[in-house]
Amino acid sequence: MDKYAVFGNPISHSKSPLIHTEFAKQTEQALQYTAIKAEIGQFAEAVNTFVADGGKGCNVTVPFKEDAFKVADHISERAQLAEAVNTLTFNEDGTISADNTDGAGLVNDLQSHQAPLNKRILLIGAGGAARGVIKPLLDCQPEQLVIFNRTHSKAQNLAEHFADYGNITAMTEKELEQSTGFDVVINSTSASLSDELPPVPATIFSQGGFAYDMAYGNKPTVFVEWALSNGCQTSLDGLGMLVGQAAVSFEIWREVKPETQTVIQALRQS
C-alpha cells in the first residue's frame, strides 16, 4: 500500500488521517495515511525515514511549514508566494516537489458556496494564514482585494508583496470605517481561537453578503455569528477549507479529485 502522512508537532489532534482515509475509500485508492510527530529541528530526518519506508507524499503542518521548503527540489509558485509548504510529493526519481494547497482549498470552498469572488473582498489578518491564500484569491480576479490587519504595517507589506498579481490594497481601521460594505469578508486572524473578534467595524459587511472564518470549532465561531447578525446571508467556518486543502493534496498525489461535501458533513457530525 502507498504510504502518506501528515507531519507536525503536536499532531495527535489532526483530522487529516480521517479525511484522507475517507477520500481513499471514496475513490477506491489503496493507501495508508497516518499522523507522524517529528521532533523540532529534525523534520528532514523524519521525512528521510518516511521516504526510505516507502512514503509517497506528506502534508506538513505547524511548526514545519518552513522546514519543508528546505527539503524540496521543486517548489510551486503559489508555495513560494505563500512562503509556506503544506504538501510534499516524493517523486520516483528521488526528488521532492513542494506545494501549498491552503489557498486553493479556501477558494474551492468559497466557490462551492457561490461566493462572489469577482467583486470586492476584504481579508482580515496579515499572518501566515493570510499570506497563504492571497495569490489564489487574486487569481479569481476580484474587483478589489483589501487587506486589514490590527498591525497595519504587516497589511501594507503583504499588499506590496502581491501588487503584481492583482488589485490589492491595505486599509487602516479609519479607512475601513469610511468604506462601503464588502461582498466577501474573510477572517484569517487567530482571534477566533480565543473567542475574540478582530477590531473591525460591522459596516464591513453588506446586506446579503458573504462571510468566511478560516478558523473552526465545535460550534460556530464568534466571527461567523457576528457576520450573520450584521446582515450576511452566508457565513461559514473553515472546516470546508480544511477538507478542501486536503482534497487538492490528494489530487496532486493520486490524480483523482475526491468529493468534499460528504466528508465535511461527516466531520461536522463527529
> Does 116 engage in binding with ligand ATR (CB under 6 A)?
no
Q: Closer CB to ligand ATR, residue 29 or residue 169? A: 169
Across-strand partners of 182? Answer: 205
**Cα separation values, 162 from 81, 141, 157, 184, Å:** 8, 13, 9, 19
Report the nearest approach of ligand ATR to the CB of residue 246 (Å): 18
Query: Cβ distance 173 to 200 under 8 Å?
Result: yes
Q: What is the DSSP letter of 204?
A: G
> Does 166 engage in binding with ligand ATR (CB under 6 A)?
no
Indicate the residue whose CB is closest to ligand ATR.
Answer: 127
Report the helix count and the strand count for the chain, using DSSP H and E.
11, 12
User: Among all chains, which residue has been given the C-alpha cell 468529493?
Assistant: 259
| φ, ψ for residue 204, nearest 5 deg | -65, -25
**Distance, CA of 260 to CA of 244 (rounded, Å):** 7
Residues 197-236, interacting with ligand ATR (CB under 6 A): 198-199
> Does 157 engage in binding with ligand ATR (CB under 6 A)?
no
Closest by CA to 100, choosing from 127, 54, 70, 135, is 135
Q: What is the DSSP letter of 60?
A: E
**Which one of the spans 37-45, 70-78, 192-200, 249-257 is the region binding ligand ATR (CB under 6 A)?**
192-200
**Cα separation values, 163 from 44, 120, 146, 175, Å:** 33, 16, 12, 19
The answer to whether 154 is a known catalytic residue is no
Residues 22-81, interacting with ligand ATR (CB under 6 A): none
Binder to ligand ATR among 150, 157, 179, 252 (CB under 6 A)? 150
Active-site hit among 3, 25, 56, 65:
65
Q: Closer CB to ligand ATR, residue 119 or residue 150? A: 150
Site pattern 74..113 for ligand ATR (x: CB under 6 A): ----------------------------------------
Query: Cβ distance 184 to 210 under 8 Å?
Result: yes
Binder to ligand ATR among 2, 17, 116, 128 (CB under 6 A)? 128
**Residue count at the site for ligand ATR (CB under 6 A)?**
17
**Cα separation values, 153 from 49, 90, 177, 187, 203, Å:** 41, 38, 18, 18, 23
> Does 189 engage in binding with ligand ATR (CB under 6 A)?
yes
Binder to ligand ATR among 71, 79, 129, 145 (CB under 6 A)? 129
> Does 125 engage in binding with ligand ATR (CB under 6 A)?
yes
Is the peptide bond between 199 and the residue preceding it cis, with omega within 30 degrees of 0?
no
Q: Closer CB to ligand ATR, residue 96 or residue 191? A: 191
Helix axes 16-27, 239-254, angle to 10 degrees: 50
Q: Closer CB to ligand ATR, residue 199 or residue 208? A: 199
Contact footprint for ligand ATR (CB under 6 A): 125-130, 149-151, 154, 188-191, 196, 198-199
Give catalytic residue positions: 65
